[in-house]
Amino acid sequence: MIRRRQFLSSLAICATAPATLPCLAGNLATGPYERLNWTSDLISMESHRTGGRAPVVTDVSLQPGGEQLAVVGDDHFICIYDFRAGQFVQNLERHSDWVRCSGYSPNGNVLATGGNDRRLIFWDTEDFSAAPVVRKHPHAIIGIDFSADNRRLAAVGFAPVLQLYDLPSRTLKREIPCPTNDNHAVGFSADSRWVAVGGRTGSIQVWEVESGQRVASYRPHRRRIRSLMFDPRGKIISCADDQVVAITDPLDPQNSHNFPRQAAKIYDVTSLDGGLLATAGTDNRVHLWRLNDRQHIGFLKGHTGTVSCLDSNRSKIVSGSFDTQVRVWQIKKDFVASLPHPDPLTGGRGEIK
């Protein structure tokens, strides 16, 4: 997620991509705006130590099929919010440094967290009082992801290696060498067959999970990749500090397509129902996009600091920020059906507040 020295970095970097990368599809800073009325519930983080400050939020994770929200940050705690109770019900302290990443298993039974203390921790979501399984790494852990078949967990960080865990036994099963020692993003394909990793160099490596054989290597970005995910078609959606979101078929990277370049570093990306995509970054906003034509729909405005992380389900988008707040945006019913046909010049851009 976020390095300490990056916390006070500038909110945007304006530069021109080298000719070897796919051309950019315009700039988001232009075009008219139409206001769309959305609402959000604010969850303010609180200090867990006397005289301390509220934590910077580094990751948020929604429990699949459940009512839990996990929030982690730089205060070393894992905070579990219950939507039914409308409050935090657990404040877990087993990490000794920044917690960088979190994620629930597809069946919702396991929560995994990783961080700067080099610990990967597996929590039982049915009983947080039970002793968690702790695995020590020789390096900080920055990104994790569960396979959709509920069999594996992948972990990457500040080491030139991808680590694959067997989820039922919580044991390390395979290590795959990576070309850089600064990896922030990892994701499994929808069929759990492939796993992809991206990091500082802007390149993405893809391996077959069972054999460990590399099946693709390409460079869709010119700066550090912050987040990536596979779509159901097997294409990889990635975002980076170069202000670009790229959609690439890993077996045919020359046909990569970019979203309009944003005026901010992009820290996270998540998919929504109805063929929509949400991105967030250093402009303090959550942007919504239509995936099929890469058109900008609007943005969610409310945070007062970099939006560092996103998660979503069928009814809500959750965003976490450097402003020590979490916002829960309720997705309006029939929102996709209500969208106007995109204007060929502006893409039907609008402001969502």
- For 67-96, write each residue's pLDDT tens digit: 999 999 999 999 999 999 999 999 999 999
Decide: residue 122, CB within 10 A, 0-12 exposed, 13-18 middle, 19+ buried: middle
Residue 68 lies in a domain: yes
C-alpha to C-alpha distance for 242 and 222, rounded to whole angstroms: 6
Give the pLDDT confidence of 237-274 residue by residue, as tens digits: 999 999 999 999 999 999 889 999 998 999 999 999 88
Residue 19 lies in a domain: no
User: What's residue 20's pLDDT?
Assistant: 34
Residue 31 lies in a domain: no
Residue 42 lies in a domain: no
Where is pLDDT greater, at 8 or 54?
54
User: What's residue 278's pLDDT?
Assistant: 95
User: What's residue 38's pLDDT?
Assistant: 80
Whether residue 17 has pLDDT greater than 90: no
Residue 199 lies in a domain: yes
Give the pLDDT confidence of 90-143 residue by residue, as tens digits: 999 999 999 999 999 999 999 999 999 999 999 999 999 999 999 999 999 999
Residue 9 lies in a domain: no
CA-to-CA dists, residue 313 to 192, 250, 327, angstroms: 20, 26, 14
Residue type, 181: N
* Residue 19 binned pLDDT confidence (cut-offs 50, 70, 90): very low
Report the CATH number at residue 265: 2.130.10.10
User: What's residue 336's pLDDT?
Assistant: 76
Residue 172 lies in a domain: yes
Residue 135 lies in a domain: yes
Count of structural domains within the chain: 1
User: Domain range spanning residue 203?
Assistant: 54-335+345-352
| Beta-carbon contacts of residue 107 (< 8 Å; ≥ 6 apart) | 64, 65, 150
Pairing type for strands 276-281 and 285-290 reads: antiparallel
